Amino acid sequence: MTLSAARTAPPCAFVLFGANGDLTQRLVFPALYNLAAQKLLPPAFAILAVTRGEFGDSAMREHLRGGLNNFCKQPLDRGIVDDLLARMSTVVADASDSASFVRLRDALAAADAAHGTQGNRIFYLAVPPRGFIPTVQALGKAGLTQEISGQFARVIVEKPFGADLASAMKLNADLRTILKEDQIFRIDHYLGKETVQNILMLRFANGLFEPIWKREHVDHVQITVAESVTIGRRGAFYDETGALRDMVPNHLFQLLSLVAMEPPARLDAQSVRSEKARALDAIRLMTPQEALANSVRAQYVAGKIGDLQIADYRGEANVSPTSATETFVAMRLAIDNWRWAGVPFYLRTGKALAQRYTEVAIKFREAPISMFRGIDLDGLRSNYLVLQIAPDEGITLQFNAKTPGPDLSIQRVGMRFRYSDYFDATPATGYETLLFDCMIGDSMLYQRDDGVEAGWRAVEPFLEAWKIAGEQGLALYRAGSAGPTEADALLARDGRRWRSLT
């Protein structure tokens, strides 16, 4: 979790499956560059860029260099780029062809000899989910997943991790036939975000918050991940997936579990992940009817985001013209444990919304206001502690203060901590910490099997209910708006409302 020089990464070969893909170009390779620029890659390091079809060393170098040029926000250091690319070689390997994995094994032996990587390997599966198991099986068959004489073989599995509880459980079971749990690194890039990691520090490195972090003091919690982007070129994937599968059991539940978990005994992978899984396990499992009553799903229709005219979701490329896929979801969850009983957790996420905005807002209970009888209380607002994740990163505490002057009236004010005021921003894609942690074998910021399954278990009733309901109950919202009015009604029913998105 810390990119501290005290924890140096050991020699290793980084094997990148799907090296010609978008993810590699946009995030993984730029993250490796950023690690190299921060001197956090081991001196003995090699990259094997794996593609299923012939790509060639020089085409791959151009592809990766193009990624750095387009996706690294800072000026590049030519020497570091060249050094990184010089450590890269391409390998053609297809899981259906075991001979190709023997070639991969030979290429790894050659990398060990050329770069001193000492038989340590990280396999990064930047491939579509259907490729996860065949690739791991082929690695196993080629003897590449064995950890002999202190060497490591770790596999990073990208999302989506399953499409429902059954498929996630099967994926876990299949992975475990070849790998031990501590060899499996299930990535969720939200855990690579500094502000997400900071939820742990805020709660547990301060004496101030924990005593009030419970049902006696918290009225409710709102988690918002609003995106202004539409589905772009991902129509085929998205139309099968929808907002809930794409965002909730993974990213939103990372936020929820960090906020809801009990203090871990130690800041290590086992303790932290056990507490997170326990929090997810405590989410009340609803019947499909309850799930319908406690959720809103919606799809965007044409509208404007800024100056940009957006078409109906159903008109997007590779989306069915009769699609009932949700691009927005709001839900009300209950966590049945001593800390949170009776405190609703409201979650919402969607595409094509008015703006990109991610926050966790903790609303505290109202003060008893009878002593203020007769005073202008129009300005009186609730106390919110807001953890801002994007686009600005920071923490705000909102409270009430007396307005100046002889009249006694009250107005909401705020104390604001901005990350950028205290810390220099290091150029990052969000993957750096995660990749570094995998190299040093720290899986605290990766998902464990039980956490993934607890997440799917909690959303399963919603998936079931929506499958049966089909288009019925699917609300609509205008692109560029704050979402459907039905989402407002979900909170209004409880006498509450969403924090403003605009």
- Give the CA dihedral 138, 144, 147, 148, nearest 10 degrees: 130
Sign of the dihedral defined by the CA atoms of residues 121, 106, 100, 61, in that order: positive
Angstrom distance (rounded) from CA 221 to CA 382: 13
Nearer Cβ to ligand BG6, position 84 or 248? 248
Question: Which pair of tokens denotes residue 230?
Answer: 């539409």
Catalytic one among 63, 189, 220, 251? 251
Question: Considering the complex, what minimum distance in angstroms separates the CB of residue 154 from ligand BG6?
Answer: 21
SS3 89: strand
Give the DSSP H/E element, type plus range, for residue 387: strand 384-390
Question: Considering the complex, what minimum distance in angstroms separates the CB of residue 310 from ligand BG6?
Answer: 15
Strand spans (E) along 110-265: 121-125, 153-157, 184-186, 218-226
Nearer Cβ to ligand BG6, position 154 or 159? 159
Nearer Cβ to ligand BG6, position 255 or 410? 255
- List beta partners, residue 332: 346
Q: What is the DSSP code (8-state) at residue 250?
A: I
Q: What is the DSSP code (8-state) at residue 376?
A: B
Question: Considering the complex, what minimum distance in angstroms separates the CB of residue 342 from ligand BG6?
Answer: 30
Under rule CB under 6 A, how many of the chain's residues touch ligand BG6? Answer: 4
Question: Considering the complex, what minimum distance in angstroms separates the CB of residue 390 from ligand BG6?
Answer: 6
Question: Considering the complex, what minimum distance in angstroms separates the CB of residue 246 from ligand BG6?
Answer: 5
Quote helix, strand, coil % in the chain, to nearest 5.
40, 20, 40
Window 155-194: contact mask with ligand BG6 (x via CB under 6 A): ----x-----------------------------------
Question: Considering the complex, what minimum distance in angstroms separates the CB of residue 161 from ligand BG6?
Answer: 11
Window 378-407: contact mask with ligand BG6 (x via CB under 6 A): ------------x-----------------
Choice from 112, 158, 227, 326 touching ligand BG6 (CB under 6 A): 227
432 binds ligand BG6 (CB under 6 A): no
SS3 38: coil
Question: Considering the complex, what minimum distance in angstroms separates the CB of residue 238 from ligand BG6?
Answer: 7
Strand 88-92 relative to strand 218-226: parallel, antiparallel, unpaired?
unpaired
Nearer Cβ to ligand BG6, position 380 or 390? 390
Nearer Cβ to ligand BG6, position 246 or 359? 246
Angstrom distance (rounded) from CA 16 to CA 190: 21
DSSP notation for 281-343: HTBPPPPHHHHHHTEEEEEEESEEETTEEE--GGGSTTS-TT----SEEEEEE-B-STTTTT-
Nearest residue to ligand BG6, by Cβ distance, number only: 246
Q: How many CA atoms lie within 13 A of 502 on its CB side?
A: 8
Question: Considering the complex, what minimum distance in angstroms separates the CB of residue 239 from ligand BG6?
Answer: 12
Site residues for ligand BG6, 11-50, by CB under 6 A, read none
Window 120-159: contact mask with ligand BG6 (x via CB under 6 A): ---------------------------------------x
Categorise residue 315: left if φ over 0, alpha if ψ from -120 to 50, beta otherwise: alpha
Residue 120 in contact with residue 127, Cβ under 8 Å?
no
Nearer Cβ to ligand BG6, position 46 or 386? 386
Choice from 112, 158, 219, 246 touching ligand BG6 (CB under 6 A): 246
Nearer Cβ to ligand BG6, position 180 or 233? 233
Nearer Cβ to ligand BG6, position 239 or 281? 239
Largest CA distance in the chain: 85
Rounded to the nearest angstrom, the gap between the alpha carbon of residue 251 and the centroid of all alpha carbons in its chain is 4
Q: Is 189 a catalytic residue?
A: no
Residues that bind ligand BG6 (CB under 6 A): 159, 227, 246, 390
Give me the active site residues, please: 251
